[in-house]
Amino acid sequence: MGKIKLEKIDEYRWLIPREGNMRVPGLIFADEILLKQVQVEETGMQIKNAAHLPGILKYSMAMPDVHWGYGLPIGGVVGVDVEEGVISPGGVGYDINCGVRMVKTNLIASEVINHLKSLVNNLFSSIPCGVGRGGKLKISKSDERKVLIEGSSWAVKEGFGWQDDINATEDFGKMDGANPDNLSKRALERGRDQLGTLGSGNHFLEIQKVVEIYDEKKASHLGLFREQVCIMIHSGSRGLGYQVCDDYLSLMGSVMGKYKIELPDRQLACAPIKSPEGQRYLSAMRGAANYAWANRQIIMHWVREVFEKFFNRSAENLGMNLLYDNTHNIAKIEKHNIDGKMKTICIHRKGATRSYPENHYLVPDIYKKIGLPVIIPGDMGRASYVMVGGKKAVEHSFGSTCHGAGRVLSRRQAVKEMKGRAIGRELEDRGIFVRSIGRNTLKEEASEAYKDIDHVVEVVHKAGLSEKVAKLVPLGVIKG
């Protein structure tokens, strides 16, 4: 990692010692193989830079899927003291509450495989996707305000889903404290026609089958079994969330001098949590998070409708229940034990997922006995995983784990390296049918652009950050 020093703590933890004006050390969760991929992207400097944030506690952390991002690396976790710490939009990311939800069915793969192309085509025509694309749902200004305040609840009240969906969504699909007045006119304009849209890039809708069960008891509690067909939805807050981040990065950059904050990287622009600017960002971020939950809720509802028409059975009869919805680009106020004392802290998780064991206060009642479900998507050509909160996560990572595989190639690099290849045909030859809109999307999202998800998951499992329950592989994929 260039001039960055590393000290091995154990097989899966590496310390970047504190030096200069760093307030805490850096901490990377990886084995020696993944560590080499961290070094290639020089994300170590971003980990060090984040360690300068006022109020930061314990470590500036990086999960095994870490890669370069804006300000804080993707896969970064930072916890700060609420009273003395700061909030950084670059520590949350542009796609606020980008997240993933998994829908179960009682179908088995053999009931779907011969109809896969037709089913994927039906989903592709029903779920809007692509860069900047608006959806088939147009909402009024007053309804948009309700979405920003109520999140998933608004969608369910409007007929997009079931009340049980709320119970299986992180934070029950709503963060309190959202204030639409703290979103710019441009952010609101961008959000008005994008509810129920998938977006582009690494966002996807995937039909999967369960191929392996690692813990029969926990899988049974989650309602998972071998050869089961499931649907995974990965999307976020679309243009609205992007604009919120952009607006507040500009604002934070203009007030750092006022609060005498000096950082080695202006992309980490921030303000004290307790400041007017910090509170305005938090309320706007929460509104964007609520928008993202409503977005995924509506997409899921339309997925159910497609399955109902295709199989001529009700979604209830098909067992299309929501397993869980995880978020992985967000700042949360939580209580954690810091040096033997319970403290209220603000945790930035950028490309990282909550991971709490059984009986933790942040685990919903339906999963108290097994721990928080953790859904880890892979790339479109490899596996995804369902895990549960690990027993060491609270102590070691502020209750956090990885969020996916993590890139090893930028999108531009991937397009260059995949030149001349027909990625869609290659996937279809392997039994995976893919539809996409973007000309270069499949090249950008090729498996070779990502770390090996099996390896990443094995590291978080052995490090105790989250525990494997089931492995799923793609059958059909929709990309923007």
**Cβ neighbours of 113 (radius 10 Å):** 15
Q: Label residues 120-145 b or e (16+ Cβ within 10 Å = b).
A: bebbbebbbbbeebbbebebeeeebb
Centre a 10 Å sphere on the Cβ of residue 260 and count the other Cβ atoms it contains.
7
Residue 295's nearest CA partner among 195, 167, 193 is 195
Q: How far is CA 269 from CA 53, 119, 247, 382, 430, in A?
A: 9, 45, 12, 36, 45
Does residue 403 carry a catalytic annotation? yes
**Which region, left, alpha or beta, applies to residue 171 given φ > 0 means left and ψ of -120 to 50 means alpha?**
left
Q: Choose among 288, 89, 277: nearest CA to 190.
A: 288
Cβ atoms of residues 435 and 380 within 8 Å: no
Contact 404, 377 (CB under 8 A): yes
Question: Could you say which of 67, 203, 328, 403 is catalytic?
Answer: 403
Closest CA to 351 of 175, 99, 43: 99
Q: Which residues are catalytic?
A: 403
